[in-house]
């Protein structure tokens, strides 16, 4: 009887350890400028590091954020909905500085006309 309990315990232990070796991968797709502008033609967006960032999102505007390090700047503008590249914006002027936010990794800040604008990374998941 002790042998049966011992073998059952070993089998349960091995089975439990086997499941721990498996990993689950979650993929978050990036949405492109064309799709953002199709959903909201008046959206104020730019692209940084392959990700589209959008401003004027109510809950983001309510956050108190602190400007951290400069991570880039707007290099070109594009009023069309296609062929967006890093450093490209549809409403911000060339030369606008892009900063990280100390409190949020998915929000970038842009200094423009004396104001600090908050841009949220737009992803679908």
CA of 111: how far to CAs of 51, 72, 81, 94, 114, in Å? 19, 11, 23, 12, 7
Q: Which residues of the chain have pLDDT under 50?
A: 125
Q: Which bin fits 61, alpha (ψ -120 to 50), beta or left (φ > 0)? A: alpha
Q: What pTM value is reported for the model?
A: 0.74
| β-pair type (45-48, 51-54) | antiparallel
- What pLDDT is attached to residue 11? 64
Q: What's the rounded Cα separation, in Å, for the pair 120 and 117? A: 10
- What pLDDT is attached to residue 82? 75
* CATH for 29-124, options being 2.170.150, 2.60.120, 2.60.40, 2.115.10: 2.170.150
List the domain boundaries for the chain: 29-124
């Amino acid at each position: 009887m002790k042998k049966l309990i011992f073998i059952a315990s070993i089998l349960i232990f091995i089975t439990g350890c086997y499941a721990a070796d498996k990993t689950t991968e979650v993929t978050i797709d990036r949405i492109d400028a064309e799709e953002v502008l199709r959903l909201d033609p008046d959206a104020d967006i730019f692209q940084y590091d392959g990700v589209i960032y959008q401003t004027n999102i109510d809950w983001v505007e309510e956050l108190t954020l602190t400007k951290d390090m400069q991570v880039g700047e707007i290099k070109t503008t594009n009023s069309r909905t296609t062929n967006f590249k890093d450093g490209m914006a549809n409403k911000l002027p060339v030369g606008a500085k892009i900063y990280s936010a100390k409190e949020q990794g998915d929000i970038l800040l842009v200094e423009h006309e004396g104001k600090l604008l908050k841009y949220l990374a737009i992803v679908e998941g």
